[in-house]
Amino acid sequence: MNSTLGSTTGLQRPIFVFGSNLAGRYGKGAALHARREHGAVHGVGVGRTGDAYAIPTKDAALRTLPLSGIMGYVLEFLRYAKAHPDLRFEVTRVGCGLAGYTDAQIAPMFADAPANCDLPHGWRSSRSSMHEA
């Protein structure tokens, strides 16, 4: 399903990329925005849902995932973004809100993001190596 901003412009609405939980419960933060504004479906905690893409940062019991776990989901997302160069992805500060991680911990995971990913300010230039917590 491809949404457009206007029938005469043909511009695609960006895919909203947000931090989720494995239960797919979207009650707060960017996840709530994804549900309300981008059609994220309750119960879908990983991957494409509506005009959004869920990257888990918490488990099904809402406990924060370790950085290594989040990294696996980020790599899945990056593969998806690279496989869909016709789509534009608006990446939020995944993991830096309710999950409690810092930009310095999460941004390096997105260092190899393709050009169709709009990253938060400062993330594109973040090339430092990620250290496990």
User: Which tokens belong to 123?
Assistant: 């993330």
Per the structure, the count of domains in the chain is 1
Here the CATH number for the domain that contains residue 90 is: 3.40.220.10
Does residue 127 belong to any structural domain of this protein?
A: no
What range defines the domain where residue 56 resides?
A: 15-118
pLDDT score recorded for residue 12: 74
Q: What are phi and psi of 62, to 5 degrees?
A: 70, 25
pTM of the model: 0.85
Does residue 22 belong to any structural domain of this protein?
A: yes
Chain mean position to CA 69? 14
Identity at 21, one-letter amino acid code: N
Mean pLDDT for the stretch of residues 109-128: 87
pLDDT tens per residue across span 67-109? 999 999 999 999 999 999 999 999 999 999 999 999 999 999 9
Residue 64 pairs in a beta bridge with: 58
The whole-angstrom separation of Cα 3 and Cα 13 is: 6
Does residue 10 belong to any structural domain of this protein?
A: no
Does residue 1 belong to any structural domain of this protein?
A: no
